[in-house]
Structures are given as C-alpha cells and as structure tokens.
Structure 1
C-alpha cells in the first residue's frame, strides 16, 4: 500500500468507487460521470491534500486532510472501495497521512468523524491513532434521517 497524488487518469477509478452506495456521500456533489470524477480530482488542490491509496498500480481508496486552519488543525477523511475493505488498508493509509500532515505540513491536530452506526470506520480511526473525543448528536442528515457522529482526534504529540 502506498499513497500518491491523484492524477487525471485516475478518473475511471474514482467514478467506479463512487458507484458504491455507501461512498456516494463522500463527495461534495454526485459523481456519476467521468467528467464529475475529473472535477472531484481537480477540486482537491484548492480544498486540501488528497492522496490516492494504491496497491501496486490499482487505486483502492483515498485519504485526505482538508479544512486546515490557522491553528494547525485539519480534518481527515478516508475511504476504501468495498473489495479492499477489512485488510487494514484504511487504517494504514490514515496513519501515513497523519504522519505526513504532522511532518510535512506542520499540523498539530487532526480531527475526523464517523457515524456511530459505522463500527468499521471507528476501528480505522482508533487503529490509526485517533482517540475518541465525544458524540455529536444528530450532526449528519442523509435522505431525511439524522445520524450521530463520533469525533476522534490525533495530536502531533500523541505517542
């Protein structure tokens, strides 16, 4: 597993990934065409730092840090395509992203959140060194249903 910058020719992999029902909410707009996928890749440089998660040459996921503020804080997100879940890829990629963000970007605090009904995402966060900090009640709304979110954080000083 390695991280690399997204490339325009990764658009077909992005489009395939966002066909998974549980990943559709991971994009700020619906990714239903190849042009949408190219736009998703092109939007990252202004929004934050995103990396393709690869196994060999195959793109299997994404890790990103965005929302970087003047206090050295950033918001982490991750996803892995269904066929590659359960192998520790998301946790390893998220840990590597955190090390990069602390070392290369000089950030101090990274935060992430996951729905409380998503224990797999919670395992990714904790395996990547993100400690739970609390529940944000009814934070997300998908298809008219409200969901609680558990927030996690990792500091550059955490061991």
Structure 2
C-alpha cells in the first residue's frame, strides 16, 4: 500500500493486542477470522499466537500517521506444497474504502513474488457473506 492511502502495512506486534480487542468489540460481522477475542487476555493470546506461529506471516493494517492497528492480513504457509491460505479482517469503522482489498493484494503479491509461494487461497467464514464478497 502506497501513496495517500489512509492505511499502511507493518508486521503484527504483541503491542497490537488492545487495538485487536477494540476491533472485535466494534463488531465481528464480516470478519474472516472466527477467533474468540473478548477481553485483554484473549486479545493477547490471539496476537501472540499469530506472531509466534511458524509458517504464518501476519501483517498489521495500521492507520497512517497513528500506527494504530485497524485490520490484519495473515497468510498461513504450506511450504511443502508452495501454497498459502490468506485470512483477513478490518475494523468495522474502516470498511468501505477498499483498504482491505489493497492490503490483501499487497500481501498476496509479496508472498507470491518474494515468499516462494505458487498459490494463495482465500479463507473466509461460511456464515459471513461479506467476508466472501
């Protein structure tokens, strides 16, 4: 993501847990990730799980200028098959400006060009029509 986009990308950090909790409290309708994030401890566990997971590249989508996490793009890599499964979510208050489309495209392009993957599949919740749109 470049230019004057209202968001930018950076690696997910443990310090993002409060913003993850805020995003899940804002509403999970349309979120691709079905994680149960309900309090500080579960938000920390969610972020730590992604940061520490081998074979997972987790990228924070952050508000330009504040560095506050507003979304997440993660690719779970299957090195043996050269594939990855992409999952993503965006804070409800930031939807509608193609932020996630640009973020997911940027991460996917990097995984295919530099990450050694040959195919990336989109993972989304079957009970979330907007996640698959």
Instruction: Mark yes or no: TM-score above 0.5.
Output: yes
- 1:111 match: secondary structure: strand
Aligned counterpart, 1:79: 89
TM-score of the pair, normalised by structure 2: 0.79
Could you tell me which residue of structure 2 aligns to residue 46 of structure 1?
Answer: 53
Give the corresponding residue for 2:112.
Answer: 102
Higher strand share: 1
In structure 2, do the counterparts of structure 1 residues 24 and 36 end up closer, same or farther at CA, with 3 Å as the change threshold? Answer: farther
Aligned residues: 121
1:93 & 1:35 partners in 2: Cα distance?
A: 27
Q: CA deviation at 1:69?
A: 4.0
Distance 1:109 1:25 in 2: 19
* 1:34-88 CA distance string (max 9 Å, x none): 1211111111131511111012212110001014241101100111111100100
Match of 1:121 in 2: 131
Uncovered stretches (5+) of structure 1, i.e. residues with no partner: 124-159
1:121-140 to structure 2, matched below 5 A, reads 121-123=131-133
* Counterpart contact for 1:17–1:23, Cα < 8 Å: no
CA deviations 1:74-133 (Å, max 9, x no partner) are: 100111111100100010000011011112211000001443862x4344xxxxxxxxxx
Distance 1:13 1:116, change over 3 A: closer
In structure 1, distance between residues paired with 2:128 and 2:72 = 21
Match in the other structure for 1:152: none
State how 1:1-159 maps to structure 2 within 5 Å. 1-19=7-25, 20-22=27-29, 26-28=33-35, 30-44=36-50, 45-47=52-54, 48-56=56-64, 57-114=67-124, 115=126, 118=129, 120-123=130-133
| Aligned partner of residue 79 in structure 1, secondary structure | strand
Query: So what's the TM-score if we normalise by structure 1?
Result: 0.67
Compare relative contact order (CA 8 Å, sep 6+) and give the higher one, 1 or 2. 2
Question: What value does the CA root-mean-square deviation take over the aligned residues?
Answer: 2.2
* Kept in 2: contact 1:6–1:51 (CA 8 A): yes
Q: Which runs of 5+ in 2 are unaligned?
A: 1-6
